[in-house]
Amino acid sequence: MNFKMKWVAPVAAALLLAACGADEEKASKDPVKQTEVDGPYTVVDDRGIEVTFEEVPETIVSLQPSNTEILFELGVGAQIVGATDYDTYPEAAQKIERVSTSTVINAERIVELNPDVVVAYTAGDEAQIAQLEDAGLKVFVIGSATSFDDVYTDIIQLSEVMGVEEKGNEVVADIKGQIAAVQEKTDTVDAKKKVYYEVSPAPTIWTTGSDTFQQEIMNTAGVENIFADQNSWLSVTEEDVITRNPEVIITPATYMENAVDEILGRAGWDQIQAVSDKAVVLVDGDVMSRPGPRIGEAVEIMAEAVYPELFK
- Please check whether residue 227 is in contact with residue 209, taking contact to mean a CB–CB distance below 8 angstroms: yes
Q: How many other CB atoms are found less than 10 A from the CB of residue 82?
A: 23
Cβ–Cβ under 8 Å, residues 219 and 295: no
Three-state SS string over the chain comes to CCCCCCCCCHHHHHHHHCCCCCCHHHHCCCCCCCCCCCCCEEEECCCCCEEEECCCCCCEEECCHHHHHHHHHCCCHHHEEEEECCCCCCHHHHHCCEEECCCCECHHHHHHHCCCEEEEECCCCHHHHHHHHHCCCCEEEECCCCCHHHHHHHHHHHHHHCCCHHHHHHHHHHHHHHHHHHHHHHCCCCCCCEEEEEEECCCCEEEECECCHHHHHHHHHCCEECCCCCECEEEECHHHHHHHCCCEEEECCCCCCCHHHHHHCCCCHHHCHHHHCCCEEECCHHHHHCCCCCHHHHHHHHHHHHCHHHHC
Mean pLDDT confidence for 81-103: 95
Residue 14's alpha-carbon distances to 43, 214, 225, in angstroms, are 34, 15, 20
Distance of CA 60 to the CA centre of its chain: 20
CA distances to 4, 28, 259, 290, 302 from 280, rounded to whole Å, are 33, 33, 9, 22, 12
Q: Give the pLDDT of residue 35.
A: 64
Binned at pLDDT 50, 70 and 90, residue 123 comes out as: low
Q: What is the per-residue pLDDT for 178?
A: 98
The per-residue pLDDT of the chain, averaged, comes to: 88
Q: In this predicted model, what pLDDT tens digit does every residue of 128-179 receive, in sequence order?
A: 899 999 999 999 999 878 899 999 999 999 999 999 999 999 999 999 999 9
Confidence of residue 127 (pLDDT cuts 50, 70, 90): confident
Tell me the angle at which helices 295-306 and 213-221 cross, rounded to the nearest 10 degrees: 60
- Residue 219, amino acid: N
pLDDT, position 202: 81
Domains and CATH numbers, the chain: 10-178 (3.40.50.1980), 188-311 (3.40.50.1980)
Q: Mind listing the pLDDT tens digit for each residue in 275-306?
A: 999 999 999 999 999 999 999 999 999 999 99
* pLDDT given at position 23: 38
> pLDDT value at position 165?
97
pLDDT at 22: 34
